[in-house]
Amino acid sequence: MIEKIKAKVKELLEQKKIEGFLGLARVNGHTAPFLFKNIDELDNMALGDNISSGDARYPLAKTLTLFHKKYPDLIFGILARGCDERAVNSLCSFNQLDKEKIIILGISCPKELAKQCECEQPFPDDLFAGEKFEKEPFVSVKKIEDLDLDEKFDFWSYEFSKCVKCYGCRNICPMCFCNECTLESEELISKGQLPVDMPAFHLVRAMHMADKCIDCGLCEEACPVGIPLRTLYKKTNQIMFNDFGFKSGTSTGQTSPLATKQPSQKIINDEA
């Protein structure tokens, strides 16, 4: 798979179709986000599999927004799994990226990773290399749904109480692009204090991610205390789909139903 991608990036760079290719590289023994601008750098290319599959993924779409802000006219290539493609699509919908300026090289995730992620679509629509695997069910959500109300409350109270307010979930999130963040608003969230405001901190974030979350799971991976954030956002995503027929990032040009609809007015998009 990687050789096919290298060959394509080489071609894109040689034909000067892109300014650079944003992907991952193995540098100093670590996997890092890397902007490939020269063909001789391609030897170090990596796909984000370190010890296990997909354990060294990074929010490349977020980095791409940095480039796009500073160089809106340049065209970049980007390595994208299913979730990365959804992030690019959604960021285009929110006017943070321009699809015309992006060439996606899509790779699929292996079954093992798809299962671990409980991924809705472990491959991009624009698949360049790899095999398409079926979607996996949200087992983690079901597990919590089966608890009774008190148990649920205790579960989340305990999980949220562990929070050290590192803001890592927000910082790593490819979909968090606001200039001003509600989580830094002193009216809602107390500053410099622990334990975290319960449940305001995590539920405000969950609410704000409702029309954005593309279920990449980087938040949960960045959480130093192991709060099952992905499960929380998966539930939010489920509500968004059941009540509005909305899934973030399934196409570009989406409008957030939270801005335009009431829960009773279902909108069905093409993919639903």
Direct distance between the N- and C-terminal alpha carbons of the chain, in angstroms, rounded to an integer: 30
Binding residue count for other proteins, defined by CB under 8 A: 34
138 makes contact with other proteins (CB under 8 A): no
What is the per-residue binding string for other proteins in 2-41, x denoting contact by CB under 8 A? -----------------xx------xxxxxxxxx------
Name the minimum Å distance from CB 55 to other proteins. 7
For the record, the structure tokens of 259 come out as 């801005």
Name the minimum Å distance from CB 147 to other proteins. 27
Q: Is 33 left (phi over 0), alpha (psi -120 to 50) or beta?
A: beta
Q: Name which of 15 and 38 has its Cβ closer to other proteins.
A: 38
Name the minimum Å distance from CB 39 to other proteins. 17
Contact with other proteins (CB under 8 A) among 2, 44, 53, 63: 63
List of E strands, the chain:
20-27, 30-36, 45-46, 76-80, 102-107, 127-129
**CA torsion angle for 94, 99, 105, 107 (degrees, to 10)?**
30
Q: Name which of 74 and 272 has its Cβ closer to other proteins.
A: 74
User: Which of the stretches 9-17, 70-78, 233-241, 261-269 binds other proteins when contact is defined by CB under 8 A?
Assistant: 70-78
Name the minimum Å distance from CB 221 to other proteins. 5
User: Which of the stretches 64-72, 175-183, 209-217, 247-255 binds other proteins when contact is defined by CB under 8 A?
Assistant: 64-72
Q: Which of the residues 219 through 248 are near other proteins (CB under 8 A)?
A: 221-224
Name the minimum Å distance from CB 54 to other proteins. 10
Q: Which of the residues 152 through 171 are near other proteins (CB under 8 A)?
A: 164-168, 171
Alpha helices in 33-132 (DSSP H): 60-70, 82-93, 111-117
55 makes contact with other proteins (CB under 8 A): yes
**What is the C-alpha to C-alpha distance for residues 136 and 92, in angstroms, rounded to an integer?**
26
Name the minimum Å distance from CB 82 to other proteins. 19
Which amino acid appears at position 183 of this protein?
L
Name the minimum Å distance from CB 172 to other proteins. 8
Contacts of 138 (CB under 8 A, 6+ apart): 118, 234, 238
Cα–Cα separations (whole angstroms), residue 237 to 39, 178, 190, 205, 208: 40, 20, 27, 13, 11
For the record, the structure tokens of 138 come out as 């949200």
**What is the C-alpha to C-alpha distance for residues 46 and 147, in angstroms, rounded to an integer?**
41
In the complex, which residues of this chain contact other proteins (CB under 8 A)?
Answer: 19-20, 27-35, 50, 55-59, 63, 66-67, 70-71, 74, 164-168, 171-172, 221-224
